[in-house]
Amino acid sequence: MYVGYIPLVCLFYISANAQSPFGSGITVGTLDSTHLDEASGLAASRVHPNVLYSHNDGGDLSRIFAVDSTDASVIAEFGISGADHYDWEDIAMGPCPDKSSCIYIADAGLNHHRPVNMIYRVREPGAVKDQTLTIIDKLPFIWTEVDGQTLLVDNHGEIYMVSNVNGGKGLMVHIPASAWGSATPFNATSSVHLNITTSHHDPGAGDISPDGTELIIKARNHVYYWKVLNNDYLSAVETPPIEIPHHSERLGEAICWDVNGTNYYTLSEGRHAPLYEFVRLPTGPAVG
Ligand SMILES: *[C@@H]1O[C@H](CO)[C@@H](O)[C@H](O)[C@H]1NC(C)=O
Ligand SMILES: *[C@@H]1O[C@H](CO)[C@@H](O)[C@H](O)[C@H]1NC(C)=O
Ligand SMILES: *[C@@H]1O[C@H](CO)[C@@H](O)[C@H](O)[C@H]1NC(C)=O
């Protein structure tokens, strides 16, 4: 009896590991600033080691915070000049016009009962200290949706927005990098629905890996993962994703890959919210 028990445990352990490409998540710390109390987006700096950017949900000042990814301390606050903040719902990293690293901001939520549908981009600050950053440009867009909480930008600057809908099958639209600089809003018509089903209004966040080959989307009680070939995100999300670990969060609307595209972080709304890190296991998919 005793002899038979051990192999059974081992078998279970191995198969459980094989199904779970990422660890179950560790708390790296809790936010220590009362200014960042409704975190709604998260993105990893490409320039400053161990820096994540975040921002508050609708109704805040136009500002972004730098969060230390090793302990969740808030280390700087950046005013964003030239940008309105009706309902910022997500940020993402992407290229600036000169190919340096920019933070993209989506003002596309429903807070003021009228979607604004604006994307801004601002160059990453040269130093992680309190200062005001001025936007480089803005990109108004039109889509059929009323609430967008997920902004995705790939390594070539191609932009995707995903709507938040009851049941989770949000509409993903493509906004090409060439759409910047037009006076008229870009009409985003190239679209597909996510191949997921949830029991809430979802999804609330997402991120494309720095090399463009992996996509994560966060719903209220799920995190979904797709491997992506040839930067074809619209085709990828029509296929079923695999589910990867998350911690139950009250209003978890923020997720991002780390700068190396190895591990991912989640953060939720609320004061002193915990920052969780999910580490890629040796059994997980190869990076890139
Ligand atoms: C956007 O494109 C769709 C599909 O071509 C079209 O039906 C719609 O009228 C366009 N919207 C605007 C505001 O031009
Ligand atoms: C989801 O993926 C499955 C398997 O590929 C496919 O049969 C199904 O049609 C997809 N559903 C949607 C809504 O695209
Ligand atoms: C990213 O990779 C570099 C080089 O391997 C390493 O020094 C750094 O710690 C990694 N950063 C993260 C956030 O894992």
> For 64-118, what is the HEC assignment?
EEEEECCCCCEEEEEEEECCCCCCEEEEEEEECCCCCEEEEEEECCCCCCCCCCE
The predicted structure's pLDDT at residue 17: 41
Does residue 16 have a pLDDT over 80? no
- Whether residue 227 is contained in a domain is answered as yes
CA–CA dist 270, 288 (Å, integer): 34
- Whether residue 288 is contained in a domain is answered as no
Ligand 1 centroid, distance to 189 Cα (angstroms): 7
- Whether residue 283 is contained in a domain is answered as no
Mean pLDDT (the chain, rounded) = 90
The reply to whether the predicted model has a pTM over 0.85 is yes
Q: Which ligand is nearest to the CA of 173?
A: 1
Confidence at 64, pLDDT banded by 50, 70, 90 = very high
Does residue 12 have a pLDDT over 80? no
Average pLDDT, integer, range 40-59: 95
Does residue 3 have a pLDDT over 50? no
Tokens read off for 70: 């090793």
Ligand 3 centroid, distance to 56 Cα (angstroms): 27
- Whether residue 49 is contained in a domain is answered as yes
Residue 201 belongs to domain spanning: 10-278
Each residue's pLDDT tens digit, 137-195:
999 999 999 999 999 999 999 999 999 999 999 999 999 999 999 889 999 998 999 99
Nearest alpha carbon, ligand 3 atom 5: 260
Average pLDDT, integer, range 26-48: 95
- Whether residue 272 is contained in a domain is answered as yes
The total domain count for the chain is: 1
- Whether residue 139 is contained in a domain is answered as yes
Residue among 166, 171, 173, 174 at smallest CA distance from 193: 171
Point out the least confidently predicted range of 14-28, 123-137, 202-216, 221-235.
14-28
Nearest alpha carbon, ligand 2 atom 13: 195
Instruction: Give first-to-last CA distance, the chain, whole Å.
Output: 45
Average pLDDT, integer, range 123-146: 97
What CATH number is given to the structural domain containing 253? Answer: 2.120.10
Residue among 149, 151, 175 at smallest CA distance from 164: 149
55 vs 116, more confident: 55
Does residue 11 have a pLDDT over 70? no
Residues within 6 Å of ligand 2 by CB: 193, 195, 238-240
CA-based max dimension of the chain: 75
Cβ-contact 58, 109 below 8 angstroms = yes
Determine whether the shortest distance from the Cβ of 187 to ligand 1 is under 6 A.
yes
Point out the least confidently predicted range of 26-40, 105-119, 153-167.
105-119
Does residue 6 have a pLDDT over 70? no
The predicted structure's pLDDT at residue 202: 95
**Taking the CA of residue 87 as centre, how many other CA atoms within 13 Å lie in the half-sphere pointing to its CB?**
17
Determine whether the shortest distance from the Cβ of 185 to ligand 1 is under 6 A.
no
Nearest alpha carbon, ligand 3 atom 7: 49
- Whether residue 2 is contained in a domain is answered as no
The predicted structure's pLDDT at residue 112: 66
- Which amino acid is present at 17? N
The predicted structure's pLDDT at residue 253: 86
Where do we find the tokens 């090409």? Answer: 176
